[in-house]
Structure 1
């Protein structure tokens, strides 16, 4: 017997949720480090970066909860599963990103018009370490999201990438302030303001990605063609008509119309339809958990 597709989806969701939890721990540590560095090093860019990391903890908790719910198998109240919880969590995270970008931008403007001390030189290696760690973890999330088809992990990866961008902007701004000397103390604040614009664009990309899943946007044509090829290899299937595939969290749902010999018995047609369903569900790289097959006679 092939493995239960819903059990496999739950396993992928649990693995993704554990990775998100590691990201939460990472954000807690980095937030403390950046806040201390910002206060002692006289740089608002680091303080703003720390505040963003703290907010990231709450948004990551939303992604974690969304993945845990998305991994649940179908029940009477949710016959198609709970997969939509994942892109909905992604939409909630994008709201956090937009609010945080606006908050940091407002405070950056305040710091620009308020005289303050120049940042300390030792904040540069601290920021370089933060950028390196964030980029590494973002790539790890992105790879896992790609292998599991998880929108939530993709959004989380983009979020960590945005954090790395904020820290990189602070690094550039502090470098300018230290190199240019008096009169350029607010360079890191300008850098933080510029990073907010980029983060807002990044948030828009997160929003579009999550919205596509919520709205049942068609999967890529190459994916649909792979589904069609698998169905056509089933003995008895002579042709295909409609094939609709939609993403639901970490899995896909398929509606497909196959054509068979019109002289077959109802039972024989049913057996072919069942074979198509089994073949698609067994194609584990595609994470198909449910298939509806409609049988039509060849004309």
Structure 2
């Protein structure tokens, strides 16, 4: 299955799961008198819209290179990630505001049975996080990584809600606001996750060359090619699920231009075979002294 198709299927899985969980949380929070669960549901609704953005971004990023985009459309991925971070911050702001309002107004405490629903939600979100994160690592996708952290932040908000409900039930009268303080704690975790999602995407947009392991793999493969004596400069930049490479390779200085050209093509073909996630590869041939 193509890498882009696998990524799209992963996002659809996340999106459908978030739709179901948002409905469950809203109903449980409303019937069980838990604002922490309602706040959790708000985040799930935002996650649905974020998943739609990821889906659109992955589809656009998968487009092949054209005259206007010779390196492809992969940069759409981190740009979509920025929008997702914005959605998360927006949802955190709404949750914080509503939690403060509930703290100021006396209200009935949550029902004990809401804990059973939360326990099931926490388990499901952690399983979803592990699945989507493993796919993001396999496909080297920043957008999928952001999608995975959505699941983890959702699990964290559910854990905070669980703790708040336990305190509210155990403490009894006067402890009802524990549920609301749990929502505020969840907001702090959401904002922290925003940073964790934002930083790698910014690195990708700024073309930071922090791919040491991949660089070493490329150099090791290069010196296996007949005619390549050594490698010098190597620049790598990530765009979506592809890595674009500029490599300076040394060959014997008295070769003809045609021979040097053929060696560079052998090197490029071998790199493509050995490392499928490489996109555009530029080989610059230099004389070896």
Structure 1 equivalent of residue 20 of structure 2: 29
Q: For residues 55-83 of structure 1, give each alpha carbon's deviation from its aligned partner in whole angstroms, at most 9, with x where no partner exists.
A: 11111111111111111111111110011
Structure 2 equivalent of residue 294 of structure 1: 284
Q: How does 1:110-259 map to 2 (within 5 A)?
A: 110-259=101-250
- The separation in 2 between residues aligned to 1:42 and 1:255, in whole angstroms, is 59
- The separation in 1 between residues aligned to 2:6 and 2:212, in whole angstroms, is 28
The structural deviation recorded for 1:276 is: 1.1
Structure 1 equivalent of residue 10 of structure 2: 19
Q: For residues 106-160 of structure 1, give each alpha carbon's deviation from its aligned partner in whole angstroms, at most 9, with x where no partner exists.
A: 1111111110001000000100111110110011000001111111111100111
Structure 1 equivalent of residue 64 of structure 2: 73
Compute the TM-score of the two structures, normalised by the length of structure 2.
Answer: 0.98
Name structure 1 gaps, 5 residues minimum: 1-7
Q: Does 1:105 align with 2:71?
A: no
Structure 2 equivalent of residue 92 of structure 1: 83
- The separation in 2 between residues aligned to 1:296 and 1:263, in whole angstroms, is 11
3-state SS, counterpart of residue 63 of structure 2: coil
3-state SS, counterpart of residue 82 of structure 1: coil
2:273 alignment partner, one of 275, 282, 289: 282
The structural deviation recorded for 1:51 is: 1.2
Structure 1 equivalent of residue 41 of structure 2: 50
- The separation in 2 between residues aligned to 1:232 and 1:58, in whole angstroms, is 47
The structural deviation recorded for 1:266 is: 0.7
Conserved in 2, the CA contact under 8 Å of 1:219 and 1:247?
no
Give the aligned CA root-mean-square deviation in angstroms: 1.0
Conserved in 2, the CA contact under 8 Å of 1:173 and 1:187?
yes
Conserved in 2, the CA contact under 8 Å of 1:281 and 1:290?
no
- The separation in 2 between residues aligned to 1:136 and 1:284, in whole angstroms, is 29
3-state SS, counterpart of residue 73 of structure 1: coil
Regions of 4+ moved over 2 Å: none
The structural deviation recorded for 1:240 is: 1.1
Name structure 2 gaps, 5 residues minimum: none
3-state SS, counterpart of residue 235 of structure 2: strand
3-state SS, counterpart of residue 280 of structure 1: helix
Compute the TM-score of the two structures, normalised by the length of structure 1.
Answer: 0.95
